Amino acid sequence: MDLDNTNFSNNSLDIVELIKLNQWTLDPLKKTLTDPSGKCINLEEKPMLLLVYLAKMRGEIVTRDQLIEHVWNNRYIDDRTINATISRLRKKLGGEKNDFIETLTKVGYSLTCNVEFIEKGAPEPVNVAAQNNKQKSTKLTLAKLFIIFTTLVIFVGVWLLINEPTPTKKTLTPTDVTIEPLTYMKGWEYSPVLSKDKTLLAFVHATSKEPNSNIIVQHIANKKTLAIEPNARTRAPAWAPDGNTLYYQTYYQEQCWIKKINISANLTLGESKKVTSCGVLYSDTNMFVSRDNKWLYYAFTESALLPTNIKRFNLHNKQTETLTAPPVKLQGDFVFSLSFDHSMLAFIREYDDMSQEIMVLNLSSGELTSLAKFDYIVNSLAWTKSDKEIAFISYDNTLHLINVKTKDIAKLYQHSKKIKDPLFISKNELLLSFGDPFTANIKQIDLNHPEPKSQSLVSSAFKDHSAAYFKTANNDKIAFVSNRSGSYQIWLKETNALTQLSHFDNKPYITRMSFSANGEKLLIKLDEKWHIFNIETANLIKLKRSAKLIRSPIWQCHSNDNILIIADNNGIWNLHSLNVITQKTQKLSTGLTSINSDCLNNKYYASIIENKGIHQLNNDWTINQSLHYFPEIPVAFDRQWAVGNNAIYRRDDDGNIWQFDLLTNSNKKILIKKIGHASINYFSLSIQHNIMLINELGIADTFIGKLTLPE
């Protein structure tokens, strides 16, 4: 059994062997251990891979370096991760310490039990005499079965033709595909578009040295590049059908304009001309030009306080049509994709509760269809060449396909790092942006100082983020998320000692952490679901509500067992107290959209549905209409504002942080976002023990690559 090229996903069909280990039977495909009585034990991914590899070596000594190469795919991990995996395996297998796996100090490990590989589905011996005695009695039955089988085959064939299901049954990984880098610049490279003759590649490029993003056009053959308006901020490139005209967006004095420019095959630029307005400065989006060169499709934002919708501009008569009208206050329709036959528009609609929905608009009939709703962020969208499926990328860097007719969703490809902006250029070839665009370190701002300044809290060569801060009379504890062990795990920094707290498998996505009142538990968001993590036991308790139905969870002041959540009940957002031990909830108030606390003064503040700004809550959890702060801002989200000791803080649209002092009723800007080098990302605010925790994001290197799928 060749393990180096074997995929052990649930959908894999490559494994045809069971492995006998003394009394246990290991099924690598199902990830189970079964004893002679039929008792079945489930295994996690890494312990299963480690056990299979030890079995393959059949008693030979396996070094830690071999395990890192074959089990962890050469990712950086420390010795504690391997030790913990071995320990979990021994507990599953039972017996004495060395009954199955022996540790050879400073050398490695060896499997000490009997090992036997058994082929799955091997045919049993046939009793010929008994078979002859039954032949006459089974002829009629066989005839009936043949008729039933034939009918079933015809039915299934017709069903397959009608429903056209996605053929992919196995989630591909980087070892199953070919990735050819196409760009080689330092910094971010994303939003690729290819000219019709596939000779010119346009993409957006950004570095930490410049505050602006630029569109770069690169000749595919000779790799020669040029920048479009290098001294301006440009984005959203889109080729016209003839391949010589490039449309793009640029910004001047906070206004967005769409321009076009002719580019020859030898990268000679023509004159840039304005086409139409695209509203105000906002987040990155995309554009498309219809095949008949008649319509230009783009996202439009009239104001930062209004939702984004999708429009199209008639390039012949200069008329504009509004295509979507999102029923939201702030978010709207952002990322979109035009089908290859240009008859349908797929787009992502983001609601004010941060949930998302993939929708398809028939441009001829105006019919709008919902394909799927998500609790998590979908960051990219693209039609496949057949126009029968839409590809999208989820938070765990998985490329999915959703069938437009059946609405079935299948996993196509999962990458080890961040991917975005898929663009299909053939049936089995697509362009992607590869790589995490950020480096990250954690900063702290001590709000007790009259002039708060940012200082380093956690800094390393790895990506560290989402810190939680706990202060005692004698000690400070900082829990944070880091990939320093090869995957994102929870770490604890205490009196200069560093400990890895979690050993989650399957590349977890962890954010939004906070300590309980005694510092023994962490409220965390793991793979878009809320959990309680016990620091001492590493026990994980999942809250019995989906992330979509929970907003703004915080610990109740001075509590170790109760949290406050805002939960959706048939479209009405109610404030509840949730006991993390019993999982029982109690309704406290209604109409809230986010909540934060000042536990030093035992006060709570919330944003509400009825009007803008932040309100203080009364002791009975009702809204105090007279104590109203930041009334100029729209419906607030918990990540855009936070509460310290007698002060409320908010992030504005430019990334600056404002402080409203509740004692003096004064409002001032305390931190200005840096531009031109590694800058602080203020999007997610967190204040714990009157310490503001923020992530300092620097720009890393990504590249545009061509991914070729197996035929």
Confidence band of 354 (pLDDT split at 50, 70, 90):
low
Least confidently predicted of 295-304, 489-498, 545-554: 545-554
Give the pLDDT band (50/70/90) at residue 344: very high
- Per residue in 61-80, is it b (16+ CB within 10 Å) or e — as a string? ebeeebbbebbbeeeebeee
Tens-place pLDDT, residues 282-307: 556 889 999 999 999 999 988 766 78
Q: What is the mean pLDDT of residues 367-372?
A: 93
Looking at per-residue confidence, does 695 or 639 come out higher? 695
d(CA 83, CA 93) in angstroms, rounded, equals: 15
Query: Cβ–Cβ contacts within 10 Å for residue 565, how many?
Result: 21
pLDDT for the residue numbered 8: 37
Strands 40-42 and 497-500: unpaired
Q: What is the DSSP letter of 254?
A: T
What pLDDT does residue 281 have? 59
**227 or 84: whose pLDDT is higher?**
227
Q: Of all helices (H) and strands (E), which one includes residue 54?
A: helix 45-57
Tell me, what's the pLDDT at 420?
93
Q: Report, as an integer, the average pLDDT of 626-630.
A: 90
* Calpha distance 469→402 (Å, rounded): 41
DSSP annotation string for 3-24: -TT---STT-----EEEEETTE
Q: What is the crossing angle of helices 45-57 and 79-93, to 10°?
A: 80
The predicted pLDDT at position 473 comes to 78
Q: Which two tokens stand for residue 78?
A: 């420390």
Q: Which two tokens stand for residue 245?
A: 């005209």
CATH of 438-699, one of 3.20.20.150, 1.10.275.10, 2.170.270.10, 2.120.10.30: 2.120.10.30
Angle 413-415-416 from CA coordinates, rounded to 5°: 150
> What pLDDT digit, counting tens, does each position of 192-212 carry?
999 999 999 999 998 865 557
Q: Which amino acid does the sequence have at 14?
A: D
**Three-state secondary structure string covering 280-301:** ECCCCCCEEECCCCCEEEEEEE
Overall fold of domain 174-435: Neuraminidase (2.120.10)
One-letter amino acid of 379? N
Same fold, 17-119 and 174-435: no
State which amino acid sits at residue 312. Answer: R
Instruction: Dump pLDDT digits (tens) for 108-161.
Output: 888 888 888 776 554 443 343 344 444 444 444 544 555 555 555 555 454 444
Query: For the ranges 4-8, 71-75, 185-189, 398-402, which has the lowest average pLDDT?
Result: 4-8
Identify the band that residue 598 occupies on the pLDDT scale cut at 50, 70 and 90.
very high
Q: Which of 372, 399, 403, 401 is nearest to 388 (CA)?
A: 403
Range name among 7-16, 43-52, 268-277 with the lowest pLDDT average: 7-16
pLDDT at 579: 93
C-alpha 151/C-alpha 83 separation (Å) is 56
What pLDDT score does 164 carry? 44
Neighbours of 513 (CB within 10 A): 23
Model pTM above 0.75: no
Higher pLDDT, 550 or 275: 275
Say what the pLDDT of residue 16 is.
46
CATH number for 17-119 (one of 1.10.10.10, 3.60.9.10, 3.40.50.360, 3.40.50.300): it is: 1.10.10.10
pLDDT per position as a tens digit, 413-468: 999 888 999 999 999 999 999 988 777 888 888 898 888 888 888 888 788 888 99
Number of Cα atoms under 13 Å in the Cβ half of residue 209 = 5
Please check the confidence at residue 657 and state whether its pLDDT lies above 80.
yes
Give me the pLDDT at residue 284, please. 67
Q: What is the mean pLDDT of residues 642-661?
A: 86
pLDDT at 175 over 60: yes
pLDDT at 314 over 90: yes
Mean pLDDT of 274-287: 81
DSSP per residue over 638-682, as a string? TTTEEEETTEEEEE-TTS-EEEEETTTTEEEEEE----SSSEEEE
Is 11 a residue whose pLDDT tops 70? Answer: no
Counting beta carbons within 10 angstroms of the beta carbon of residue 27, is it exposed (0 to 12), middle (13 to 18) or buried (19 or more)? middle
At residue 12, the pLDDT reads 32
Given a cut of 50, is residue 75 above it in pLDDT? yes
Higher-scoring residue by pLDDT: 492, 302? 492
Q: Using CA atoms, how far apart are residues 71 and 77, in angstroms rounded to an integer?
A: 11
Task: Please give the Cα distance from 293 to 445 (Å, whole number).
Answer: 53
pLDDT band at 39 (very low <50, low <70, confident <90, very high): confident
In the prediction, which pLDDT does 64 show?
Answer: 82
Q: What is the pLDDT of residue 635?
A: 55
Reported as a pLDDT band with limits 50, 70 and 90, residue 317 is very high
pLDDT computed for residue 86 by the predictor: 86
Q: Sheet harboring 214-219: ordered strands across?
A: 188-194, 200-206, 214-219, 225-228
Q: Does position 492 have pLDDT exceeding 80, yes or no? A: yes
The per-residue pLDDT for 699 is: 75
Residue 412 has pLDDT above 60, yes or no: yes
Domain residue ranges in the chain: 17-119, 136-165, 174-435, 438-699
Q: Fill in the amino acid letter for 235.
A: R
Please say if the pLDDT value at position 52 is more than 50: yes
Q: What is the pLDDT of residue 677?
A: 38
**How far apart, in whole angstroms, are the C-alpha atoms of residue 483 and residue 199?**
38
pLDDT at position 137 is 45
Average pLDDT, the chain: 82
C-beta separation of 194 from 425 below 8 A: yes
